[in-house]
Structure 1
C-alpha cells in the first residue's frame, strides 16, 4: 500500500451540513475501496487565485491515506464528476 495526499476545494456557497456530508462521502469512498485514512483536515475558506466555476473562494480540505492505486483512481473519477468540488489533486508521497 502506498501513501497518498488528496487536496480538494469545496464550493463555499454550501451550508455546513452539505459540506460535511460531501467530505464524509469522499472519506467513505476511500474507506470502502480499502484505504486507511491517516489524516482528514479542513484548512478553511481561502481566496482563489482565479475564478473557478463562478467562485472566488473555496473551502480547502486535505486527506492523507494509504491505499492501492485503484483507490486513487476511483477517488479521481468520482471527484471529477462531483459538481460541488471545484478542483482536486491526488499526489503519491515518496517512500521514506
Structure 2
C-alpha cells in the first residue's frame, strides 16, 4: 500500500487531550477503511504565520500512514468537515523516515549546517 504523511492543525482552544483524541479518531477512520496509522506525533500548540479563522495559534499533529488512496480520501473528507480541524496537508512518500520528525528533534541534533564565514 502507498505511504502517506499528514499534518493537521486543530483549533487553539482545544485541550491537549482533545487534540490527541482527534489523532486517535482519524487513525480509527483509516483502520476502518483498510489502512493503518504507522506513527503519530503531537507537536503541541504553535504560532502560525498568519491567522486562520481568526486564530493565531493551533494544535499541530503529524501522522504517518500506510493506507489505500480511498481510505486517505475518506479521512481527509472527514477532517475537512470537522469543526475543530482548520488545515490538513497530505503528501505521498516513497518511505517513512526512521525516528522522530524534524520538529521533534532537539536543535543540536538537527543543526548540522556549516558555519558561515
Tell me the TM-score normalized by structure 1: 0.91
Q: C-alpha displacement at 1:78, in angstroms? A: 0.5
Query: What stretches of structure 2 of length at least 5 have no aligned partner?
Result: 96-117
Q: Tell me if 1:39 matches 2:18.
A: no
Query: What stretches of structure 1 of length at least 5 have no aligned partner?
Result: none
Flag the structure with higher strand content: 1
SS of the equivalent of 2:46 reads strand
Deviations 1:55-80 (A, max 9, x none): 10011100001111101110111011
Equivalent pairs counted in the alignment come to: 96
Task: Name the CA distance, whole Å, in 1 between partners of 2:94 and 2:23.
Answer: 25
Q: Taking CA–CA contacts closer than 8 Å with sequence separation of 6 or more, which of the two structures ends up with the larger relative contact order?
A: 1
CA contact (8 A) 2:44 2:61 kept: yes
Tell me the TM-score normalized by structure 2: 0.76
